[in-house]
Structure 1
């Protein structure tokens, strides 16, 4: 066989392979290009999703397509009972982004977690309360002396609030028995069963269960309600490598909040559906009240409100002195008009 015929035979064998390989490479390139242009379905974390109202802007953003418009398709929200659980869920989510309690975020960062606070969530506690059975003999916070008092989870907003409320009324944590009961549903169940004397709640829970329970005290009646309840967090590494996604999430939440403020009843209906709750009338009333209380931040941070919440950590001795916020916060992922001016 001549060299020419051998080369010709080799080409006849090789050409289909090359063409097939070329097809696969082109097809793969098309798929990759499509993925880079499209949006990828992901999950994020919002503390007490389905129970409390930190999640309203996110529910609206999902329903109205704001996430997709901003380049990230959030199709699911992971929930948590508060505190460190929310931080852990954030790290386990499809995107390591979550709205968690400020106290939990500070504690996680202090423990060495490479997290950053990138923006504000809820900056009022005006609707928070502790409830008791309707026929309970307790009527004021001072009646809690020697009683079992439930909150959600260690390091959570409710943990901080009960400590601060007790202190404001001349009481110490040692004078009551504090019990981490879980989410709001678990708190009201603990009260209803008699496992605890009082439990953490909000106005919506009271409205849905007014035949069974009543408020013992409103936080706004014993403390300044302007406190940073929740903040948006992510990991420093993820934010650096996926800045567009983080900015897209922040912008989507902002747009969800703006839509809520302009269309409160529709936002209430969207949230009730997302929370699988049939009480749309109560959701409408509650969201209108929260708007009056200026409950949600558009993302901008309020350092005095953050320091106010940190007082709870100081009371427990979990931190000493003030928080050096520049070591915890990176506002570069906020829109320019929400960043603090120098």
Structure 2
């Protein structure tokens, strides 16, 4: 979601290092089962394959006895939970990973899980005079929070229509659901509505911009492991990645059944979950799928970093090659793309 929905942009250095220390101490106690951590699981579209993998038994079949999926509302919190709770694997957005690494955390990107931002739609009321991005000049455009993904993407969307951020009034709504409410009462003229919210509300609003049409592929969320702290858990992490890959393939072949599984975990109407799955499974951005099999798309990762730098969420030089560890990937996915 998840470049996911609202994320924590800063990770307290002491919390990270203390969590890492706890992580290392916990290695002394062997465990046959593990929890994993997924940002915005049960809310954002990024985590949907994990629900399918859990329900279909793919984790156990691939040798990863996942006993539960922990979640949090932001990338920074996800990483703290991963390190302090001894979780071998997490899914989180790129800027949270980079912020953690820059503050000393031993974290590696081990899989590319969501490769585009195709879940994002910018919508208006049906009777709005706004027909395209070019019509947004002088209008009020919603976004969730400063330095958020939605703020960064708003900049790119405006650029696609030949506009600058100063050509509109950017209005902080505090969340995507809150943005929908703001649109209803006229506080904003346009707001981002990501999946699965869009599948729920698409009959009520009109899309004027779709990320899959306007924006290039960029790393949305990533699978990560705690670097050296993951020693001894290679098989588990590999199993998680294989199981998630199977789930993505299963969703493509069985979108309605997958939607029904997701509906239970996400507390959605089955029709809404089915529509969200179908929308995202069929999405291609310059030939790149939304839910990736696990391969790491380096161009998309660099683009995500560049976008976050635009809104000040990331600073400094980033050597992306040093962030990546492909040893957990199946052989056919190890080549960087």
Q: Which TM-score tier does this pair reach, normalised by the shorter chain?
A: 0.7 to 0.9
| Alignment check: 8 A CA contact 1:150 1:181 kept | no
| Alignment check: 8 A CA contact 1:102 1:306 kept | yes
- With over 3 angstroms needed to count, the CA separation of the structure-2 counterparts of 1:80 and 1:167, relative to structure 1, is farther
In 2: Cα distance, 1:190 partner to 1:73 partner: 43
Q: Which residue of 2 aligns with 1:272?
A: 263
Which has the larger helix fraction? 1
State the shift of 1:241 in Å.
Answer: 4.2
Q: Which residue of 1 aligns with 2:52?
A: 60
State the shift of 1:90 in Å.
Answer: 4.1
Q: Which residue of 2 aligns with 1:335?
A: 330
| Alignment check: 8 A CA contact 1:66 1:256 kept | yes
Residue in structure 2 matching 1:179, options 172, 191, 196: 172
- With over 3 angstroms needed to count, the CA separation of the structure-2 counterparts of 1:67 and 1:220, relative to structure 1, is closer
> Which range moves more in the overlay, 117-126 or 147-156?
147-156
Q: Could you tell me which runs of 5 or more consecutive residues in structure 1 were left unpaired when the two chains were aligned.
A: 1-34
In 1: Cα distance, 2:41 partner to 2:149 partner: 14
RMSD: 3.0
Matches within 5 A, 1:81-120: 81-91=73-83, 95=87, 97-120=89-112
Residue in structure 2 matching 1:250, options 241, 246, 258: 241
State the shift of 1:312 in Å.
Answer: 0.7
1:232 aligns with 2:227: no
In 2: Cα distance, 1:203 partner to 1:284 partner: 11
In 2: Cα distance, 1:288 partner to 1:59 partner: 16
| Alignment check: 8 A CA contact 1:45 1:93 kept | no
Q: TM-score, length-normalised on structure 1?
A: 0.76
State the shift of 1:195 in Å.
Answer: 4.2
- With over 3 angstroms needed to count, the CA separation of the structure-2 counterparts of 1:313 and 1:250, relative to structure 1, is same
CA deviation vs aligned residue, 1:206-231 (integer Å, no higher than 9, x gap): 3422454222321233323x222111
Q: Could you tell me which runs of 5 or more consecutive residues in structure 2 were left unpaired when the two chains were aligned.
A: 1-28, 284-288
Residue in structure 2 matching 1:290, options 280, 286, 294: 280
State the shift of 1:270 in Å.
Answer: 0.9
Q: Which residue of 2 aligns with 1:326?
A: 321
State the shift of 1:305 in Å.
Answer: 1.9
State the shift of 1:139 in Å.
Answer: 3.2
CA deviation vs aligned residue, 1:53-108 (integer Å, no higher than 9, x gap): 21222011110112223344334333344454444454455615322222332333
- With over 3 angstroms needed to count, the CA separation of the structure-2 counterparts of 1:171 and 1:339, relative to structure 1, is same
Residue in structure 1 matching 2:300, options 305, 309, 321: 305
